[in-house]
Amino acid sequence: MRKLIVLIGLFVVLLSKANAQNMSSPYSVYGVGEIQELQPDRSSGMANTSISILSTPGFLINKNPASLMGLERSVAQVDLALVGKTVSFKGNNITSDNSSTKDVTIKRISISSKLSNHWASSVGFKPFSYVNYSFTAQKSIEGSSSTYTGQYDGNGGLHNLFWNNAFAIGKHLALGVRSNLIFGSINQTETLNALNTPVVSQITSYYTGFRFEGGAIYGAKINKNWRFSVGGKVTTKNDLTSEKTLTVTEGNSYVEKDKVLADGTFTLPWQYDAGIALVNKGRATFTVDYSYGNWNKLNPGGTTWTMRDNERISAGFQLSNQVQRYGFTAEKNYFQAGLFTGKSYLQVKGQEINEVGATIGFGGYLSRAFAYNLAVEGGRRGTISANLVRENYVQFTLSLSYREVLYSKGRKYD
Q: Average per-residue pLDDT in the chain?
A: 87
* Mean pLDDT calculated for residue range 54-61: 91
Confidence of residue 176 (pLDDT cuts 50, 70, 90): very high
pLDDT digits 0-9 by tens, 279-304: 999 899 999 999 999 999 888 888 88
Reply yes or no on whether the pLDDT at 6 is more than 60: no
pTM metric for this prediction: 0.88
Mean pLDDT of 71-80: 90
- According to CATH, the superfamily of the domain at 2-405 is Outer membrane protein transport protein (OMPP1/FadL/TodX) (2.40.160.60)
Q: Report pLDDT for 409.
A: 53
Round to the nearest angstrom and report the end-to-end CA distance of the chain: 18
pLDDT at position 93 = 75
Given this model, what pLDDT does residue 149 score?
A: 79
Give the pLDDT of residue 99. 79
Torsion, Cα 343 346 351 357, to 10 degrees, reads -30
Cα 134 from Cα 323, distance rounded (Å): 52
Of the two residues 64 and 73, the one the predictor is more confident about is: 64
3-state SS track over the chain: CHHHHHHHHHHHHHCHHHCCCCCCCHHHHCCCCEECCCCCCHHHHHCCCCCCCCCECCECCCCCHHHHHHCCECEEEEEEEEEEEEEEEECCCCCCCCCEEEEEEEEEEEEEEEEECCEEEEEEEEEEEEEEEEEEEEEECCCCCCEEEEEEEEEEEEEEEEEEEEEEECCCEEEEEEEEEEEEEEEEEEEECCCCCCEEEEEEEEEEEEEEEEEEEEEEECCCCEEEEEEEEEECCEEEEEEEEEEEEECCEEEEEEEECCCEEEEECCEEEEEEEEEECCCEEEEEEEEEECCCCCCCCCCCEEECCEEEEEEEEEEEEEEEECCEEEEEEEEEEEEEEEEEEEEECCEEEEEEEEEEEEEEECCCCEEEEEEEEEEEEECCHHHCCEEEEEEEEEEEEEEEECCCCCCCCC
In the chain, pLDDT over 70 holds for what percent of residues? 89
Q: Which residues of 312-329 are buried (b: 16+ CB within 10 A; e: fewer)?
A: bebbbbbebeeeeeeeee
Q: Where are the domains of the chain?
A: 2-405
- 414 has a pLDDT exceeding 80: no
pLDDT tens figures, 246-276: 999 888 888 888 888 888 899 999 999 999 9
What average pLDDT does this structure show over 307-335? 86
Is the predicted pLDDT of residue 378 greater than 70, yes or no?
yes
**Cα distances (Å, whole numbers) of residue 99 to 57, 85, 92, 96:** 42, 14, 11, 5
Q: Quick one: pLDDT band at residue 328, thresholds 50, 70, 90?
A: low
User: 15 pLDDT band (50/70/90 cuts)?
Assistant: very low
Q: What is the pLDDT of residues 89-118, one digit of tens each?
A: 888 877 777 778 888 888 999 999 999 999
Which tens digit of pLDDT belongs to each residue from 337-375? 999 999 999 999 999 999 999 999 999 998 888 999 999
Give me the pLDDT at residue 300, please.
Answer: 86
Report the phi/psi class of residue 349: left, alpha or beta, with left for phi > 0 and alpha for psi in -120 to 50. Answer: left
The pLDDT of residue 38 is 83
Note the pLDDT of residue 92: 83
Residue type, 175: L
Split at pLDDT 50, 70, 90, the class of 35 is: very high
What is the separation of C-alpha 128 from the centre of its chain, rounded to a whole number of angstroms? 7
Query: Span 108-136, mean pLDDT?
Result: 91
What tens digit of pLDDT does each residue of 208-234 get?
999 999 999 999 999 999 999 999 999
Q: How far is CA 173 from CA 14, 51, 73, 285, in A?
A: 42, 14, 17, 19
pLDDT at position 141 is: 64
Q: 410: pLDDT confidence band, cut at 50, 70 and 90? A: very low
Which residue from 123, 152, 125 is spatially nearest to 137, judged by alpha carbons? 152
Asked if pLDDT for residue 14 goes beyond 70, the answer is no
- What number is the average pLDDT over the span 317-336? 82
Looking at residue 19, its pLDDT comes to 41
pLDDT tier for residue 196 given thresholds of 50, 70 and 90: confident
Q: What is the pLDDT of residue 144?
A: 63
Cβ-based burial of 4 (10 A; exposed 0-12, middle 13-18, buried ≥19) = middle
Give the C-alpha separation, 387 to 385, whole Å: 5
Answer yes or no: is pLDDT of 407 > 80: no
How much is the pLDDT for 325? 67
Measured distance CA(190)–CA(240) in Å, rounded = 24
Whether 2 has a pLDDT exceeding 70, the answer reads no
